[in-house]
Amino acid sequence: MATVRTPRGSWIAEGLRALRDGGVEAVRIELLAQALGVTRGGFYWHFSGRQALLEDMLDAWERDVTTALIEKVEAGGGDVRTRLRRLFSLAASGDGLLTDIHTDSAVRDWARRDPAVAERLRRVDNRRMDYLRRLFGGFCADPDEVEVRCTLCFTVWIGNRLLTVDHGGRSAAEVMELIQRRLLR
């Protein structure tokens, strides 16, 4: 009878969950195996060690927050404002993505202590900004205005979850809608 192995993708997904919930220190083979309901031995069918898993997790995160997200936005078609609205919606909901803003925050925290992760984060953020520049540049002729809108958009996406403010009788969703309208005009 053939031995059933836990798929490589399951280890990566569980590693990303552990990273999101507890930081890079929580990505431990024993804990991942326990969460998956398997033994540690299965891990070594796919990875040479923890560092290999961490690299594959970063690869998966990078694909998810750049290539996969951009492909989803572009697949729906429409003009640049329509694509920006779709991007805002997908980024807010995490719909169909492996990672979310909390995973992104965990990678940012990890990058503060690991220069290689910091370099990868810089590359990913630059790719995200380049995509935003392309979209905003589709209806803004002024390069300074494009840069401001891109920076505001990206900063709001990253920082919004950190806010614990009242919005003068508005919900956070209503304020996000106001921000989107302002950015898209």
Query: Would you state the pLDDT for residue 43?
Result: 92
3-state DSSP percent of the chain in helix, strand and coil, to 5: 75, 0, 25
For residue 44, the Cα-to-chain-centroid distance in whole angstroms is 27
Contact predicate 106/93, CB 8 Å: no
For residue 42, the number of C-alpha atoms closer than 13 Å in the C-beta half-sphere is 18
pLDDT band at 2 (very low <50, low <70, confident <90, very high): very low
pLDDT digits (tens, 9 = 90+) for 9-39: 999 999 999 999 999 999 999 999 999 999 8
Average pLDDT over residues 177-182: 93
E strand map for the chain: none
pTM score: 0.90
For residue 66, the Cα-to-chain-centroid distance in whole angstroms is 8
pLDDT digits (tens, 9 = 90+) for 42-99: 899 999 999 999 999 999 999 998 999 999 999 999 999 999 999 999 887 776 666 7
| Rounded (10°) CA dihedral 157, 103, 132, 79 | -90
pLDDT band at 163 (very low <50, low <70, confident <90, very high): confident
Report residue 33 as tokens: 């195996």
